[in-house]
Structure 1
Amino acid sequence: MASKLIGCSVCNQRKITKPSVVWCSECNEGLCEDCREHHSLSNATKNHETVPISQYIKLPAEVLQVAQFCQIHNEKYELFCRKHDSPCCKQCVETHNKCKDLTDINNMIGNIKSSGAFLEIEHTLSEVADNIKRIFINREENLASIGEKRKAIEIQIQNFRTKINERLDKLQDEIMKKIKTVEERESKKIRQLLNSLIQKEKEIFEYQGHFENTKKYASEYQSFLVLKQIEKYVTNEDDFLRSILKEEHANQIDITCRVDTSFQQFTASMRKFGDVLVNSSPCNITILKRKLQQAQINVAHPTRNFDSITLRLKQIIQTAMTNIRGCVFLPGGRIVFSCYNRNEVEVFMPNGSQEFILTNIGRVFDVVYIGDDSLAITSGGVSRSRQIYIVDINQRSVKKKIEIDSPNTGVAFNDGKLIYCVRGNGIKMINLTDESITNLTTTEMSNLAYVAKFGDNLFYTHKDNDSVTCIDFHGNIMWTFSDRSVLRYPLGISVDNDGNVYVVGYGSNNVVVISTDGQTHRQLLSKDDGLNGPSAVDYDRTNNKLLVVNIIGEGFVYDVV
């Protein structure tokens, strides 16, 4: 921003130094208090607009650097070349002699700051900031989710490790018990044999004693008989010992454990616990994109002449629906219709073929696109219709049901808020973040009222008195249009980039466009164009298309030229 003191340009030429108090953009110079007074009285400059210098220096450097005089010819820019998208002075015309789109620059800049294009760019800047914030929040959430996922994986690994340990502990206990059982069984056999050998050993000691005494003290006859008896005993014991060896009772017992081959393969093949994978899926954020392209077009071209608005039929969509109460364009050219008596929403492809039907929603009336691949659907004007549904188009399901305190019909969307008509009780606005509700007007509404929003104004229809009314956000009435010879039983309503209001007349079987000030109107479509009880309308400000639908059956898509 500018920070240096700006001197009076007129006084500077007189070698006098005085600070400027105002800035004239027409003259491109600052003026002191004395020169300002003369400037405001002079016939040549009295119509020039000036701004206090304190406000002028607050302008960004990019604005202050905008040249109003041609740097080549040092003359003021008076023309604008649409072909080259640049301002021109009168002498520049020679270099643009082949350009057919030279226009008086005053026609281009008139009321530019109050134009729809200026407002749309302002909104677009706000949306870009919102998009940055949404992406930032999304990335922060992703960062947090990665940390949570890591913790979950760690717990998963620990649980798996615990299961492995528990299984190994169980198998270890089983093999240990089995080893002990085998040891006890084999040890018992050996101990039984040892006990038998001990008994035999005692008997041998006894026979050895007997034999020694016989040898010393018995007669020959006695010795002979004892010898035969001992010989028989020894033969039996020898057979006993041979039987032990023969029947493998004396075999050497050894206990070993052969580890299951699956464990060996497990330890040999297990190189790592697992792989860490990174799954990258497309971001589910839908970048909000208001009407930047259209706004740029409007800056480069003057506002469309109200009297020249023309509709060119592009497509007729045949539906099997009845009692259609709402319609809306989706990004990419898809179209949505809401059916009141079937309580369903049908989505059609750009070529007019049906893509899918959303059912099990609840009561369905009007529908509006709210970004993030989502729709908001009102539930109607009967007493039990006190819900608004938020539907995810991709998931094809209701992701949120908002309970409100009143029946609701027509709906519009504005910067995260829904504006809806309340039967008999005005227009309300609900914040989709905290669900807080604001009363915008308490004017009595019909049970089939519709609403549209443009800039700082709202537009609503009233079928009972055949009127269209424009109000501001404080409920102040800006204008009311009512002419039964032109428009009867008005229902659906929408607004284009220039603030022109498009209304369907259910009773007059037509579409009427009303100028932004409510003073002028034109009939664009009639029964001769196929309208038979039209109920809803939507203007696509990005692509300049108009969608009109009859209450039964047909939808019409027009290019607005």
Structure 2
Amino acid sequence: MASKRLVDSNRDNAGDFIGESAVTQSCEPCMKTNISKSATVFCKDCDEYLCDTCKNPHTVYKPGQHKIVNLQDDKSAPVILDMKGMDKCHEHAREIVFFCHDHSKLCCLSCVLIHRKCDQLDDIAKVYRRARPDLQALKQSLIKMQSEADAIIADCKQSETGLNESIAKISSEVDTMKDRIIKLFEEAKQKLIREAKQFKTAEVKRIENKRDASLKVQKELNNVFSMCCVVLDSGTPSQQYIYSELMKEKRKTIESTMDDQRKIKFLSTTVSFPQQVTSLLEMGSNSIKLNYEGNKTVDTSPISLSSQPRPLILEQLVSVDVPKTGDDKEEPLLAGLDFLPDGRLVAVDNKNMKCIILNERLERLGTPYTFKHSPLGVVCVSHDTLCVTGGVKQVFLLSVSTDNTIRLTREITTSSQFDSICCMSPSNMVVSTYDDPRPARMISVDGVESDFDHFLTFPIKTYKGNASFCTYVQSKNTLILTDRFAHTVYMHDTMKGTSRAVTNENIQEPRGACVGPGDTVLVCSMHKYSIVHMTNDGNILGTYPVDMKNPNTICVSKDGTRLVVSNSVLGTKKLHLYKISPAMS
């Protein structure tokens, strides 16, 4: 057992003759790359078998002394194999000489006393002759596992390096995001200040006009009052009668002027922040989280702070029919929709010439306001002020109280026929037109009309009624125009003067449009019975079927969490309210 020739302590009988069979030793470096090649030499210093190809790189690149011997020459030198105690019984520390097949156990002479009654107890030499072990296969499997262990160690080193690099980048990434947010807020601040100055200029002009008109009335009243006192004290009966008759008409004129001035309400302005900003502040230090396997953070806010827009999930909350009611002359047609900041819904009924307030269950609140002519579009310009288009080249400013009372505060006569309307800034609106070669125009809350810069290229056509609608993405300075019968949505960058026409099989007779979460755009596709969701530069994010024919008008709440859509099919008018959620990546 202890006198076999050239048997390596960590390998099988390499290059040795065992009985009458020769075992060929393989090159160890080659085996690590799954190449089977016979070894020709052995490095005694490194205890490694090598072929002729691997011998030179081994001696050149591997540090240390290298005593290389040929395997054929080395076989003639008998060596004593040190089994390092492996050939001793663990229980009795005596040499192993038997193998018990019943218990699959190597036994020494002391073990024999325990296993003497076993059926199969053979000495090692007999067992070896009967079933020689395949040590070559064992060695190859060990070399393979050694290679795998090396790979695992290398992977650990690489992972540690990657971890150190990723940790080192955290501070830089957070600083980069912080700088982006600061820059974003600074740009928003400057934009807000510009709009506030424009608003102030417009309001100051309105205040001055009202004050000048009131001063003029006051001066006239002073003159009339002085004359009245003189006539009353010194006038003859005839003079007093004549003066009284003349003053009847004068009083009506003065009272009418004063009524007009009283109706002029000055608009106040405040700074509002979108829900995602206030939510970020509420989260505090938890607004930034570390991502690692098994602890992926998920953005569940209605509007993502990410620069990449996300598809939506629409969950229907309420669905109501919109039939003709007792005070309606015709079946209603909700031509315009918008949300008040407190969540109430405003709708204008084109057929019955009404402005209606609805709650979160789409139930009517208060008494509708009745127009003299048919309204077309509506937009909420402040917490209690509405701007309505319609009539014969008219725009109406309405006030809405907390008890749902609607009053007319001002009526503006315009030079164009306006259809849909949306906010561009606190004091300016964008309107779509019909029977006018300018498909979109601007109007301020004090009635000043203006056109977009000449470099902005609109379709060369004059739209008829219900053929084109608009919305405006304020943060992107992007004007959206739908062309119903061309099945096209136009995206106009009002700052750069560029335009893009978007067509898609899902855009069929596009009508109403509004700004959606994350400054995206939602458009009613009438003949697809659906809503198309797209980015402000025209990329389609998704299409959402709605359970109604010919969806016509659409709006999103100020916090971006709810959507309302109505349709325009005779006999089956509907109004749907949806909850908006971001789709998970």
Give the structure-1-normalised TM-score: 0.50
| Larger gyration radius, structure 1 or structure 2 | 1
| TM-score, normalised by the number of residues in structure 2 | 0.48
